[in-house]
Structure 1
Amino acid sequence: MGGRTVLNDSQRRLAEQHLNIVSRVICRYIIVNETLFGFEYDDIYQEGCIWLCKAAASFRPELRVPFDAYAEKVVANGLRTYCRLMYGRQKRGCCIPLDADLNITRLILEQAPSPAYHQEEELLAQMDAARLLHHMKREYSGTARLGIEAIELKLKGYSGKEIADMYGVKPNLVGAWISRAKQKLRKNQVFVLWMETYTGQAAS
């Protein structure tokens, strides 16, 4: 799924030294299911290693983003994409023969998506964005940091007025903070990569 990536010696060493990132990402973000093709741990781990190599190949030290944070995001987004693709294949290929064993039939039905599937996907995206913003907030100060905090609060459902009341300022000032934060985030490699990989669009 992730495709082949050619690494030079230093990039290969970087990937080899951080193989634990793949296991960590699987533990934190991915649900392994040994009963479904493509969702076994070994398959997911192999795909994660491919994305770790992609992270090593695209990593730019001059941006001063820790490789751990950058690679974890690349691997997590890559594995989510892999799981969505595999899920789509399972869904399209799912059929239940009339003479199927009842236990097998029950297993297939249990794997069928619930009506709230897309809502759950949206919720996971929001939770992932909140974690990312919380991590990135440490890199900024002043207005940009206040703006990121305001975005975090908006993800939690607070309105601009409610956020303004928390800080004892006018709502238009909160809007200015958010605007400043977005300017900074558009230049942040990790955040832009998350937007492009997870949502398929640039930060706006």
Structure 2
Amino acid sequence: MIIPMTDIERKLTEDHLSIVAKVIQTLTCGCRYVSYDERQDLLQIGNLALCKAAMNYDGNRPFETYAKVVIRNAIYDYWRSLQKERTYTCSMDAIADNETDTSYQQLLADTSSLQNLEQEHNLRSIYEYLQTLQNVNCTTIKKGIQALLLQQNGYTSQEISKHYGVPASHVRAWKSKARKYLQQDATLYTLLS
């Protein structure tokens, strides 16, 4: 069911359209290349999230701050859904070289278990590599990587800050430093691609 926007909500959305581009720029600044199609998808998701923010806005806080959070979360949700839909493939020649008795039909019929195995292997490799990075780096980067892993498991900066007994701003700073460090790591980039 489509709920139409009121004139006030429409005006609020139109006045703050520039927020979407700013949030997308912030989220993708560390990416080496974002294609035109990907950027258009993000703009569409961001604009829809801006409309949703305008429709749910209660007026108790500044709209721009509220809208940025809604847009950022919508983009994160989109990226998570893409990650879940991602499929892994291998060449038929590689399967043919395998000395097992498994036929193409059996392998193709059971692609979900192959995908799960490959995803599990990739995630394990990434996690193990992050563990080695934690052991090698300074305390701030180590805490930042730990905080990013906790965030990936659903913990908020507030919850992580309570765990460490520090303000949430410290946790955000650790995560920021760790992200910058990890974005420059070629091995991690290879594992993620």
TM-score (norm: length of structure 1): 0.46
Higher relative contact order (CA 8 A, sep 6+): 1
- For normalisation by structure 2, the TM-score amounts to 0.49
